[in-house]
Structure 1
Amino acid sequence: MTQDFFMSSKMFDELRKEISKIKVISCLIQKDSKKIFEYYKNPKAKTNLQKINSCTKSFTSALVGICWDKGLLDVHTPISEYFSDILIKEQDYRKQKITIEHLLTMSAGFDWPEFEEWNYFSPMIYSPDIVKFILKRELKTNPGEKMNYNSGCTHLLGAIIQQVVGNKVDDFAQEVLFSPLGITEYKWYEIQGQSLTADGLRLKADDMIKLGTLYLN
């Protein structure tokens, strides 16, 4: 496929036609730092904040990286440093070896059937203490041994960020990530006094592409 074909209006017309048939709210394509295609289901889709679900995790991991760069944490640090009141009571000594890196790579080892019996939705959201719910899950594998999709890991990252910065995650994000990227409108839902760092962020599609550009650069 030549570059001329890739950039052709005919191809974009076909793309627009096809995605209009399915449940796509918005679609943006950027090349060489310039948007070359925009599709919105309706005018409101361009201006409204959209629920980005687990894409929230990418913003959370970026904030962890910023904390690391600022010397506020080290990804090799065991999470027992932040949740000692809970983990000190756990009999499985392996939990003491779980690090921030294991949370980032979802390799902490917890028995977490998010894509199995839980059917893509973790019951942690209904727990009176979400952090405790996550940390008290049994370990199915040793930390670092195997990746298993775990939204609980990302929620723990949010709790750690909040501890090390001494502020709510969304306020920290506004200061060190959103504002520098020119993201002025967003909504980050909270639960139990903490931002839902696994799936609670709402953004405009035009602002989502800014994070992609950041990493591309």
Structure 2
Amino acid sequence: MTKDELYTTVKDKQPNICQIVAYRDGEKVYAEEWNDYTREDCTHIMSATKSVVSLLIGIAADLGMIRSVDDKVLDFFPDYEPKRGEKTIYDVTIRHLLTMRAPYKGKGDPWSKVCFSDNWTYASLDFLGGRKGITDDFNYQTVCLHILSGILYKVSGMKTVDFANKYLFEPLGIKKHTSYFAETAKEHKQFTMDRLPKKDVWFSDPQGLGTPGYGLCMSASDIALVGLLCLNNGEFSGKRIVSSSWIKEMTKPLEVENEHFKGMSYGYLWWIINPEKNIYAAIGNSGNVIYINPEKNIVVAVTSYFKPSVIDRTDFIRDYVESYILEN
């Protein structure tokens, strides 16, 4: 496949893709844009935000701000009072949040109850726990992961975006991000669904704490650098940003007992595509992906505008983009 053929294939078969950037052996080997996006424009990378937050938690652990992922969540919120009769919440750890094994009351994400509250962290804590106890069942959540931003703030005194700028984005050469807060439900919906390019922002709660489950806006060039950091076991341009031990622990596969996830495993907020080859990815709705293949020394970053029918694009990346890279 030629470069022109790949461009046309993306345009015809994956029409909501905005940008693709790919590296092999540390060299940029492909970069292209569609849908009137420029190379610098950002998209809302949806749930791929989660994987970036995993790196931030790792950095906080490396700095000694977090003693262990087995620390109890409630230890970080001594002023929070659990609801009467709630016992399970006392046993929930950071590891449970990172691996999507935390128990929650009710089904689905309580978007309105959290996002219309004055304190999204404490509103999320209200849903943590339940009568079933710690079952270790895979329970994919988005909005209640806001607890992780609350923990980052408690241990560092920094808003999520400020912590990310200082310890991750700036060391990678990524533009400084700012917080964005939607004043109304209409603005919140528009932020999620708008197909136009975004600025370098992170969607945040009323206190300015970035949403860890979604809400980060980046370009494919940006998230490709995040992928390179992971591929290089936490180093970038000769500088250690996150420990290699965290990258190893972060990508350790745990089985997902759910047919809706294509048989993939899960690490610390990263999807494990192929446990034998250690191929893993950050995956966001609409097909926003950071794909990392250590065996081939390849990183592929894809950004896309909102299209809910597109859930996962890793097969397309493997069959077309990775194949193009290996052939050329």
Partner-residue secondary structure (3-state), 2:103: coil
Give the AA of the match of 1:78. K
Deviations 1:161-190 (A, max 9, x none): 011001111111111111111112431222
Calculate the TM-score normalised by the size of structure 1.
0.84
Matches of 1:61 and 1:153 in 2, distance apart?
Answer: 15
2:51 is aligned to 58
The 8 Å contact of residues 18 and 37 in structure 2, kept in 1 or not, is answered as no
Partner-residue secondary structure (3-state), 2:133: coil
The alignment yields a C-alpha RMSD, in angstroms, of: 2.1
The 8 Å contact of residues 204 and 210 in structure 2, kept in 1 or not, is answered as yes
The 8 Å contact of residues 174 and 222 in structure 2, kept in 1 or not, is answered as yes
1:79 is aligned to 73
**Correspondence 1:99-138 to 2 at 5 A:** 99-111=93-105, 113-114=107-108, 122-123=111-112, 124-137=114-127
Query: Which among 59, 66, 85 is matched to residue 91 of structure 1?
Result: 85
| Pair 1:178 & 2:178 matched | no
Matches of 1:214 and 1:140 in 2, distance apart?
Answer: 40
CA distance 1:101–1:18, change in 2 (3 Å): same
1:198 is aligned to 213
CA distance 1:140–1:53, change in 2 (3 Å): farther
Query: Deviation of residue 54 (structure 1)?
Result: 1.2
Report sequence identity in percent: 29
Specify which structure has the higher proportion of strand: 2
Partner-residue secondary structure (3-state), 1:25: strand
Deviations 1:10-41 (A, max 9, x none): 34332211111211111222211122222211
Matches of 1:200 and 1:125 in 2, distance apart?
Answer: 13
The 8 Å contact of residues 110 and 141 in structure 1, kept in 2 or not, is answered as no
The 8 Å contact of residues 76 and 151 in structure 2, kept in 1 or not, is answered as yes
Gaps of 5+ in 2: 177-199, 233-328
Query: Deviation of residue 214 (structure 1)?
Result: 0.6
1:149 is aligned to 140
| Pair 1:47 & 2:48 matched | no
The 8 Å contact of residues 125 and 144 in structure 2, kept in 1 or not, is answered as no
Matches of 2:132 and 2:9 in 1, distance apart?
Answer: 43
Query: Deviation of residue 52 (structure 1)?
Result: 1.0
Deviations 1:100-149 (A, max 9, x none): 111111111114643xxx6xx83322333322322222527433611111
Give the AA of the match of 2:175. T
Matches of 2:35 and 2:82 in 1, distance apart?
Answer: 53
Gaps of 5+ in 1: 1-9
1:25 is aligned to 18
Q: What is the number of residues matched between the two proteins? A: 203
The 8 Å contact of residues 48 and 204 in structure 1, kept in 2 or not, is answered as yes
Specify which structure has the higher proportion of helix: 1
Bigger mean CA offset, 13-22 vs 72-81: 13-22
The 8 Å contact of residues 86 and 132 in structure 1, kept in 2 or not, is answered as yes
Query: Which among 200, 203, 212 is matched to residue 227 of structure 2?
Result: 212
1:68 is aligned to 61
Bigger mean CA offset, 204-213 vs 78-87: 78-87
Query: Deviation of residue 212 (structure 1)?
Result: 0.7
The 8 Å contact of residues 18 and 33 in structure 2, kept in 1 or not, is answered as yes
Partner-residue secondary structure (3-state), 1:167: coil
Query: Deviation of residue 94 (structure 1)?
Result: 1.2
